[in-house]
Amino acid sequence: MAQQERALKTRLLIVEAAGAVFDELGYDAATTTEIIARSGVTRGALYFHFPSKEAIADAVIASQDQFLVPPDHRVRLQATIDLTMSYARRLQHDSLLRGAVRLAVEQASYRKPDATPYVSSHEVVCRLLREAEANGELLPTADPEELTPLIVGAFTGIQVLSQAHNNRLDLLERVSALWKNLLPAIAVAGLLPHLDTSPEARPR
């Protein structure tokens, strides 16, 4: 058990160091040597857990899931907004998540473009929007199937531009503007004024 715990801890050290390295250098320029140096593990330990740089990148991308836990707000549209805000806040401060997002956006470098890195976000947002629909929060013309890829895609590009402009300093304001301008097409009129899209942190 102690040995298993140690192995899990080593794996986590590697994934966190790799996230930071991929965030800074991208997939092509990242090396296992750099990941080993940052994580403080031995090369043997790294290869025990991961047969290749690609396997490490897959683990970094999979680590996104921990940032995709939907808040339990009764209004499911508010929970969706809050999820994107907390994800944005983590992107500003967590180099593991930044590394995962960089790999997702630049995945053409490490494998043929495919949609795997976006599956979890898609599932979580789509489930929240279906719950919102079941609650009567959505306009009849609002379609969760159409809105989900739009929200995931728009968020992805908005954070690319925020990074390019000011290293994601204004990311929350940009996500707030996205919601402000999407919600009139999504939320029923009675709910609209009660949804909080402000970039400030809210008590949870």
132 token code pair: 């919102």
Give ∠ CA 113-170-93 in degrees, rounded to 5: 70
Site string for its own copies, 9-48 (x = CB under 8 A): -----------------x-xx-------------------
Backbone angles phi and psi of 166, in degrees to 5? -155, 35
The span from the CA of 7 to the CA of 44, in Å, is 12
Q: 32, 92, 120, 163: which one contacts its own copies (CB under 8 A)?
A: 163
The span from the CA of 140 to the CA of 148, in Å, is 16
Nearest in space to 79 (alpha carbons), one of 39, 131, 34: 131
Q: What is the largest CA-CA distance in the chain?
A: 60
Q: Which CA distances in Å does 99 have to 68, 94, 105, 130, 169?
A: 16, 9, 10, 30, 17
The span from the CA of 185 to the CA of 189, in Å, is 10
Q: 78, 84, 86, 162: which one contacts its own copies (CB under 8 A)?
A: 162
Q: 157, 169, 194, 201: which one contacts its own copies (CB under 8 A)?
A: 157
Region from 7-15, 87-95, 101-109, 194-202 binding its own copies, contact rule CB under 8 A:
101-109
Region from 6-14, 58-66, 71-79, 173-181 binding its own copies, contact rule CB under 8 A:
173-181
Region from 10-18, 38-46, 102-110, 123-131 binding its own copies, contact rule CB under 8 A:
102-110
Site string for its own copies, 113-152 (x = CB under 8 A): xxx-xx-----------------------x---xx-xx-x
Nearest residue (CB) to its own copies, 19 versus 49: 19
Query: Which residues would be at the binding site for its own copies (CB under 8 A)?
Result: 26, 28-29, 102, 104-109, 113-115, 117-118, 142, 146-147, 149-150, 152-165, 167, 174, 177-178, 180-186
